[in-house]
Structure 1
Amino acid sequence: MKKIVYHKFGNADVLEMTDTVIPEVSETTILIKVKAVSINPLDWKIRNGEMKLMSGSKFPRGTGIDFSGIVEATGSSIKNYKEGDEVYGLLDVFKGAALAEYIIAEEKDIATKPMGISFEQAAAAPVVGSAAIQLFDTLVNIQTGSEVLINGASGGIGMFAIQIAKTKGATITAVVSDGGLKAAKDWGSDFVINYRKEDVLKAGKLYDVVIDLSNQMSYSVAKKIMKTSSVYVHTAPGPKEIVSAFFISLFSPQKYKVLMLKPSQLYLKDLKRYIEAGLSVLVSKAYSFDSFKTAYAEAPKAHIVGKSVIRVN
């Protein structure tokens, strides 16, 4: 089978397609024929060596975290899935290796693919959808009428965060660039600000929740538009942000939270229900398997609206 690996840290040029044997199932694992794999910022942060403390430095390494596919074989103790089932899920966040024709997964890693969407859309959902669900499940308490600002709202997490927050009755202000205006409106934002033409800091509005998805609005900046008792969420924290969030939240009514994805099969099942109830999943670009280098070279600088994926089979 074909699998994408790399043998040293670096840009997309270190990626290569290799031939290897199809892995065999154990008693407790599932063999999946991969249909599509999503592209996430964490992919290139790990590949560039930015996450060594958490991902390690052992080579060769695979890439890709979330995927969709079809069950090919199951271990003897697997009762909830069988050959031919359509599934989606995510592998270990820091080890990945989903970008291959076949992968081995554990039952906790997957859920039945949502009905009514393509394999490409299903692959696009697990990481960013789980992050959005975790955000509102563990970090932010959204109520009817809560004023929520989402900065950098046109990407994957923003796509889900807008729609999920709307189901909870929040009033959403989305900050995007020109290319994300239509999508942010389509996803249900009440107000959409084009940051190239308007400064949200000067709009005279205060928010209960500020979610920064762009890594461009720090807590110290966001405080200017936060209510006295409010929450700021950083979704791409480094060690400095994690430490700052802990101490600031101890003493300030303007809380500082960090989102660190903790995958859960429950999130995948919740996500399935949201999608089948009508939540939109936008895949704005799909690459062929052979175009994997192009896909990973373009992703960090393309300002993709929604998600981009790689078709495998």
Structure 2
Amino acid sequence: MQAVVFDRYGDIEVLQYREVEQPTIKPDELLVQVRASSVNPVDWKIRQGHLQLLSGFNFPRIVGSDISGVVVQVGQDVTRFQPGDEVYTFLNPLNGGACAQYCAVPESTAAIKPQNVTHAEAAAIPIAGLTALQALRDLGEIQAGKKVLINGASGGVGIFAVQIAKAMKAEVTGVCSAKNLNFVQSLGADIVLDYAEVDFTQQIQKYDIILDAVGKKNFADCENVLQTEGVYISTLPSFENLAPMFLSLFMSGKKAKLIVANANPSDLGSLRELIESGEVEPIVDRTYSLEEVAAAHAYSETGRAVGKIAISIEKVSSQ
């Protein structure tokens, strides 16, 4: 099968489009013909070697995490799926494997894809959508009427966070660049702030939840604009947030938390319901082919993408 792999950590030049061996599945896995993937910042950070203490040195490695595709084979212990099912989920980013014509997927992490979106749109959902959902619902304990601020509201996680928060009837403030203010407002944000003109950490307004979807503000920056029992949630681990996150485990009051998305069929099902109902829409900025993954990584690294970057993988005639 064709895949995009790298044999060492480095810049986009290490990415190679080449023939590799098709995966074999375990009894509890699905063999999925991948129809689309997407690019998340974690994908190129791993490729660059920033997480090599966790990702190790097992090469070659196929890049990518998000997948949407069609089940072509099921392991003997699989009970929820059959060949022909359209599924979506994400693979462990530390291992990768998504930017390929086929991948092995644990049954325990997969779900039926939303029926009203394309594979490219579905592949834009898993990591970003689950990060937003689990951050707001599980860590932030979002409720109707709560004041929520999304920093990085036009990015991959941000677009889902704004829409999910509105679906949960919260009052949403989105922070983004000037050129994306109208776009974020179109997603449902009640208030939009241009980060170059307004520093939300210096405002009088206080928030119940601050989701920093771009890792640009730490807990100390945001503490003064959190409500007494407010929650700051970051998508990126940082040294500055380690102490407050640790203290949050034991102390009441304002809390700092880190979101690490978990792929599970229940939450993917919740996202599917939101998408099929029209309350949440995946936004794809650009779509690249499998051969163009290096260019997709380069675009993601600019930080200018509005929504997600999709990778479309042509249907293959045989395994």
TM-score bracket for this pair, using the shorter chain length: over 0.9
Counterpart in the other structure of 1:290: 291
Give yes or no for contact 2:4–2:290 (8 Å, CA) kept in 1: no
User: For this pair of structures, how many residues does the alignment match?
Assistant: 313
Shift of 1:214: 1.9
Give yes or no for contact 2:218–2:241 (8 Å, CA) kept in 1: no
Cα offsets for 1:119-147 (capped at 9, x unmatched): 11000001011111211232111122111
Give yes or no for contact 1:131–1:261 (8 Å, CA) kept in 2: yes
Residue identity matched to 2:133? I
C-alpha change, 1:103 and 1:50, in structure 2 (3 Å) is same
Counterpart in the other structure of 1:112: 112
Give yes or no for contact 1:140–1:231 (8 Å, CA) kept in 2: yes
Counterpart in the other structure of 1:231: 231
C-alpha change, 1:18 and 1:188, in structure 2 (3 Å) is same
C-alpha change, 1:19 and 1:8, in structure 2 (3 Å) is same
Cα offsets for 1:64-109 (capped at 9, x unmatched): 0011111112223323222222111111131111110111112112
Q: 2 CA distance for matches of 1:223 and 1:244?
A: 10
Shift of 1:300: 1.2
1:215 aligns with 2:215: yes
1:158 aligns with 2:158: yes
Give yes or no for contact 2:241–2:256 (8 Å, CA) kept in 1: no
Counterpart in the other structure of 1:10: 10
1:147 aligns with 2:147: yes
C-alpha change, 1:250 and 1:27, in structure 2 (3 Å) is closer
Counterpart in the other structure of 2:56: 56
1:96 aligns with 2:130: no
C-alpha change, 1:50 and 1:244, in structure 2 (3 Å) is farther
Q: What are the within-5 Å matches in structure 2 for residues 213-292 of structure 1?
A: 213-238=213-238, 241-247=241-247, 250-251=250-251, 253-278=253-278, 279-292=280-293
Q: 1 CA distance for matches of 2:169 and 2:31?
A: 40
C-alpha change, 1:265 and 1:243, in structure 2 (3 Å) is farther
Shift of 1:49: 1.3
Q: 2 CA distance for matches of 1:217 and 1:17?
A: 37
Cα offsets for 1:219-261 (capped at 9, x unmatched): 1111222222211111111465344411255446111111122
Q: What are the within-5 Å matches in structure 2 for residues 200-211 of structure 1?
A: 200-211=200-211
Gaps of 5+ in 2: 315-319
Counterpart in the other structure of 2:317: none
Cα offsets for 1:138-177 (capped at 9, x unmatched): 2111122111111111112111111111122210000001
Give yes or no for contact 2:89–2:263 (8 Å, CA) kept in 1: no
Q: 2 CA distance for matches of 1:223 and 1:235?
A: 17
User: Equivalent residue of 1:295, what SS?
Assistant: helix
Give yes or no for contact 1:10–1:48 (8 Å, CA) kept in 2: yes
Give yes or no for contact 2:299–2:305 (8 Å, CA) kept in 1: no
User: Equivalent residue of 1:136, what SS?
Assistant: helix
Report the identity percentage: 34
Q: TM-score, with normalisation over the residues of structure 2?
A: 0.93
Residue identity matched to 2:147? E
Gaps of 5+ in 1: none
Give yes or no for contact 2:100–2:290 (8 Å, CA) kept in 1: no
Counterpart in the other structure of 2:311: 310
Bigger Cα displacement from structure 2, 76-85 vs 45-54: 76-85
Q: TM-score, with normalisation over the residues of structure 1?
A: 0.94
Q: 2 CA distance for matches of 1:76 and 1:235?
A: 37
Cα offsets for 1:25-71 (capped at 9, x unmatched): 34332111111111001101111111123222222112100111111
Residue identity matched to 1:255? K
RMSD: 1.7
